[in-house]
Structure 1
Amino acid sequence: MDFESISSSCVSASTKDSKTVSLWHWSWTVLSEAATQAFFGDAIFKVAPSALDDFWTFNLEAWKIHSKYPRFAAPKAFNALERSIQAFVDYLRLPKQQRPGACWLVEQLERGMEELGISEPTQCGAMLFSLQNLINTNAYRQCFWCMTYLLHDQALLEQIKKETQPAWDGHTVDMTYLLNNCPLLASFYEEMLRENNEPVGIRLVADLVTIGGKELQPGRKLLMPYKQLHMDQTVFGTNVNSFDARRFLNDKSLERSTSWRPFGGAKTHCPGRFLARREVYMFLALAIFRFDVKLVPRRGESVPRFPCADTSIPAGGLLPPKQGNDVFVEIKRRNP
């Protein structure tokens, strides 16, 4: 994550020492490239140069498939899904010695499929794509919202910089320090999830039960949107409709509350939550210490405006900004 590596796909203007970029696309490019390479190595990009473009399309359109749209009503989603699965089919067809750099989890997943006798190419490709979907769906959205809040609140940005400064050695970041010695950063991260995450829990009704006057039949699936819990004034305070970076710092019991479900719970408690936090912390630290970043207005506007989250779609996770509500930033090289 350096100045030269900023993808041209997210740059709208540039000079020798500065680039104006879409924060939404920059977050996606940095997170998806890093995570995909870390898990699968470089081979996936060699067999499928457009793998990230296809997954980007799928990521934005996937809710239509989950909502049972027919193919004719969601062609982008279905086509991107098929191309993404095919990318991993082609990846698995390469001899293993031509796929160096795959992480332990990918190797174990492949070995497990072999031991179970799962050899049909499309099925194996779909299994690896499900992992790709897991690691790349939400983290870049978290980075987008975190940077947006910080850039729109300079006082908070300076406080976060001061708290995290000891973790920066001029080149890289001490993740252990960020995780264990930055309570404001942790509270800020949790509050970002409370404001912009719409997780959904799914349970199978085992026995006939009545809840809230509604009789639930065995075998039915119950969807539980957790966002309402996160807006409960009796738990999170009367200012639930406002972003408060210190909310979880001022009341440390909130993280243990049964009303706090940013990553689901029980068997569906997201296992990627630990990785996501580290990805976001790393992105934020590198962004604020390697570069000078400032907001710039959208085209046709005179001042930067805070984006609105798109609550019109059943995201089931981190919300995207509404169309036309991207954030643009000017990134400058920081002098040593």
Structure 2
Amino acid sequence: MIRELLHEVPFPVTAILVLAWLLLLWRFWMFTMKPLMRPSDPKELPYWIPYVGHTLAFFRASDKLLERGLNYMNRSHEIFAVRVLGKKIYIITEPADVTAAFRDSEGLSFDGLLGRLLRNFNVKPEAFERAWHKPQPGDWCYIPNNPLNPDQLDLIHFVEAVYKKQLLPGEHEEKLSQAFLSSASKSMQFGPDGLLDNCQMNEEIRRRLSLYSLCRLVIVDAVTRSFFGNHLHNIDPDIVEHMISFNRYAWMVVFGFGTGLFETPVAKPQKALMAALKGEEAWVLKQLLPVMDLVGIDVESRAAMLLMSYWAAISNEYNVTFWILAYLLYDESLFLAVKQETEAAWRQPPPSVASPSSGGEDQDEQLDVMYLSANSPRLEAIFNETLRLRNGAGAIREVTKTCVIGGKVFQAGNSLMIPFRQLHTNEKVWGPTVNNFDPSRFLDKKSLARHPSFRPFGGGATMCAGKTLAKEEVFGFIAILLRRFDVRLAAGAPLDETASRPSKDGSPNIGRIPPFPLMNDTVPSLGINGPIDGMDVIVDITTRCPKKG
């Protein structure tokens, strides 16, 4: 009878019914029977299309996908998996499991991800092989008692060691920090020597600025000059704009969308940056370039490696700074508290010594950024709370051998991801107000800054070496801005009067200031997310300390 019924149904309909039936059987097996038969495997978040899995959702709104996974696991923070481009990605959000994952350097490797990044940044195959080659006696790149590379590291790990030496607290990091502050201070002014004119939203209002443009332009410019001197600016005066554009679309390169038949938005700035980086660079690169020459890295691949390092140095600082300033501008009490903390860090320099952080303009004041970083509890709490809520990145590892974490078996050949936002919003750690911006949580319980559920800089052997420098750059920028200018929301009343208070009739001050900007979570996150396009914070600033003479 069924055969007769099917015979009367048109073939296309029959084919669709058969495919639908097979799909239902497959889905029942994958997400009902298989988990029952293999309880030690992390559960997969169900999907309908084999191989494709959650690929579209991951690249369109990864944060929403991960939240859906947590809800599927009843917010238990048990390990689960998503499937992207046919490959399982294990998702870990429980603090104890995260700690175990960072400790397992044998079964979980960062080198696989690093290798994929190098290829996506267009490091050529031969250069890739040479970069991972460990020098052995008799090799073309082996020098006995090598003064530059005494441990005979492969180029990849040599570069890592050099950057750690530069970025970890000490003499080298301090010089880099001072170079950043000096450049930022020179840029943070109006006129031909500054960058603020480039941030203006309305030429008729002299000092109405885009806060986001202000943070991006000044910080990217200062980082570029502190790492490369004026070299890249001399090669290409638009180097800062190229890097800002590249960073906006860098996710395309990281996830392998930067190449192909059709040119993507990241291609043009990437080409411009690569062209500038093919010359002779300054800074710690003087130590890297001779080793690159010895190993035999071609110019194109060398520029690609330098671009990776350059991009990593600027990719997060301006977004963090923007959010902190936005929070301050929308909260009078926070603004005044931070203003007081930053003011306490300004010092009189020794006689006849120009201030490295004032550009030589104001000889009577000098910013002690180390004091500021160590003695600003309110600013540090805001900094940490911003990192907690706005960090959409995640630590990624390749599973190189079968291992067990949290009672779940990870199969070799798959990947592991520790999404920081889901880790940072674990209700069991942060409480019922987990999604609210509340810096007092870090003031009331200082141990939260060291909690395993707070990992804004990663963990294990790959913890970000530049976290001290990044903090000093953000704190220094804010201190210089608040010292030099009076800042207020463009559409609101002065911050010390009514910006965050009710109006005279007792109603909320809605409408007098624009809505607080929303975070952009529409593209894969590589760190601190910026605001959604069109939701900038517009500010009016007035110079407090005009030039002398």
TM-score if structure 1 supplies the norm length? 0.89
- The 1-side partners of 2:396 and 2:413 are apart by 12
Which amino acid is 2:430 matched to? F
Farther off after superposition, 4-13 or 281-290: 4-13
CA contact (8 A) 2:369 2:472 kept: yes
Q: Could you tell me how far 1:171 is from its partner in structure 2?
A: 3.2
Q: Could you tell me how far 1:291 is from its partner in structure 2?
A: 0.3
- The 1-side partners of 2:271 and 2:461 are apart by 29
Is it true that 1:88 corresponds to 2:287 in the alignment? no
> Where does 1:220-259 land on structure 2 (aligned, <5 Å)?
220-259=414-453
> 1:135: which partner in 2?
313
> 2:366: which partner in 1?
172
- The 1-side partners of 2:421 and 2:472 are apart by 23
Which amino acid is 2:322 matched to? F
Is it true that 1:295 corresponds to 2:474 in the alignment? no
CA contact (8 A) 1:232 1:240 kept: yes
Which amino acid is 1:332 matched to? T
* Runs of at least 5 residues in structure 2 that lack an aligned partner in the other structure: 1-184, 348-363, 493-510
- The 2-side partners of 1:185 and 1:302 are apart by 26
> 2:304: which partner in 1?
126
Q: Could you tell me how far 1:246 is from its partner in structure 2?
A: 1.8
Q: Could you tell me how far 1:143 is from its partner in structure 2?
A: 0.9
Q: Write out per-residue CA displacement over residues 111-152 of structure 1, whole angstroms, 9 at most, x where no aligned residue.
A: 33123232x111111122122101111101111111101011
- The 2-side partners of 1:218 and 1:190 are apart by 35
Q: Secondary structure at the match of 1:306?
A: coil
> 2:232: which partner in 1?
44
Which amino acid is 1:153 matched to? D
Q: Could you tell me how far 1:335 is from its partner in structure 2?
A: 4.5
Q: Could you tell me how far 1:23 is from its partner in structure 2?
A: 0.8
> Where does 1:254-265 land on structure 2 (aligned, <5 Å)?
254-265=448-459
CA contact (8 A) 1:199 1:264 kept: no
Quick one: percent identity of the two aligned structures? 34
CA contact (8 A) 1:297 1:305 kept: no
CA RMSD of aligned residues (A): 2.2
CA contact (8 A) 1:187 1:248 kept: yes
- The 1-side partners of 2:232 and 2:225 are apart by 8
Q: Could you tell me how far 1:208 is from its partner in structure 2?
A: 2.4
- The 1-side partners of 2:403 and 2:411 are apart by 7
TM-score if structure 2 supplies the norm length? 0.55
Q: Could you tell me how far 1:45 is from its partner in structure 2?
A: 1.0
- The 2-side partners of 1:144 and 1:34 are apart by 16
CA contact (8 A) 1:20 1:331 kept: yes
Residue from 296, 315, 319 that aligns with 2:525: 315
> 2:174: which partner in 1?
none
Question: Cα distance 1:306–1:79, how it changes in 2: closer, same or farther (>3 A)?
Answer: same
Q: Could you tell me how far 1:242 is from its partner in structure 2?
A: 0.9
Q: Write out per-residue CA displacement over residues 78-136 of structure 1, whole angstroms, 9 at most, x where no aligned residue.
A: 222122111101x23xxxxxx6xx32x22222233123232x11111112212210111
Which amino acid is 1:75 matched to? T
Is it true that 1:10 corresponds to 2:199 in the alignment? yes
Q: Could you tell me how far 1:14 is from its partner in structure 2?
A: 4.7
> 1:95: which partner in 2?
none
> Where does 1:199-238 land on structure 2 (aligned, <5 Å)?
199-209=393-403, 216-238=410-432
CA contact (8 A) 1:187 1:249 kept: yes
> 2:65: which partner in 1?
none
> 1:279: which partner in 2?
473
Q: Could you tell me how far 1:264 is from its partner in structure 2?
A: 1.2
More helix by percentage: 1
Q: Could you tell me how far 1:200 is from its partner in structure 2?
A: 0.6
Residue from 295, 310, 327 that aligns with 1:116: 295
- The 2-side partners of 1:318 and 1:129 are apart by 19
The alignment of Structure 1 onto Structure 2 pairs a total of residues equal to 322
Q: Could you tell me how far 1:294 is from its partner in structure 2?
A: 0.7
